[in-house]
Amino acid sequence: MERSASVTFRSACPIASGLDVLGDKWSLVVIRDLIVHEQRTYSEFLSAPEGISTNILALRLQQLTDLGLITRVNLNGPHRNNAYRLTDKGAALRPVLEELAKWSQVHLRALHPNILSLD
Amino acid sequence: MERSASVTFRSACPIASGLDVLGDKWSLVVIRDLIVHEQRTYSEFLSAPEGISTNILALRLQQLTDLGLITRVNLNGPHRNNAYRLTDKGAALRPVLEELAKWSQVHLRALHPNILSLD
DNA sequence: CCGCATCCGTTACGATACTG
DNA sequence: CAGTATCGTAACGGATGCGG
């Protein structure tokens, strides 16, 4: 079943509009998991170290699906062991996450000494 | 007066950590204004088309100052017509915003037909 | 006036228990 | 296993007040 994404955009600015869609603490973490792992199940998302709660995860998965950034992959039947993958639209966020990661590694280390260096 | 930034990081992941600091709907909009305009006063921030409310703006300016991403510039006296500028740390976010803007221009146009193309 | 701070209603988030 | 229901808490948002 396909719901349509209902987003209200604050302005015509592409930065603000991007944040209208992705500007929360969890959406890009879900995208990150799918960039790193290609494919994830509900419980695999839950096992990430950040500790997203079940209702928030379900809400984000729904919203990101509605936006066309991720799709559900039915592996073995209707509700068991299904998984999510990125669409091209979602995969196109990779440069955004890469730049954010680079910035954080350099500029958050003082506040967060054991932040990971990827690569 | 310098408060220290109190952020709680969910994990060692640089992406999640970046979102712990900037993952809300307003912080990067404030940064955007300072990238575009170099320097902004409180009321100039308020005049942006997104319509941030006064308490949220004051809170974000405080937090971004505490994090060392922006600084207050005293122009004419202690409280009138003072303004904010980016620090080097804040200015280093430019590539993140550029990639976000590029993504939005391409992938949000269907949902938001009159989104602006910068450049 | 300008730059906030305070108050307060509304909305989003978050932990946990529970269901198909 | 993949979500939903519930309910308490925190963030947001508008109105307004107040000091310099």
A56-96 pLDDT per residue, tens: 999 999 999 999 999 999 766 666 778 999 999 999 999 99
CA closest to C1' of D5 belongs to A55
> Does residue A11 sit at the B interface (CB-CB below 8 Å)?
yes
> Nearest residue on chain B to A117, judged by CA atoms?
B14
State the alpha helices, DSSP H only, in chain B: 14-22, 27-37, 42-46, 54-66, 88-91, 94-107
B52-63 pLDDT per residue, tens: 999 999 999 999
Strands A83-86, A39-41: pairing is antiparallel
Which residue type, as a one-letter code, is found at position B45? F
CATH fold label, A2-90:
Arc Repressor Mutant, subunit A (1.10.10)
Strand D nucleotides within a 7 Å radius of protein CB atoms: 1-6, 11-17, 19-20
Tracing tokens 């912080």 back to the chain, one arrives at B27
- For chain B, which ranges sit under pLDDT 50? 1
Query: Helix or strand or coil: residue B29?
Result: helix
Give the domain ranges of chain A.
2-90
What predicted TM-score, i.e. pTM, was given to this entire model? 0.93
Smallest Cα distance from A74 to chain B, Å = 25
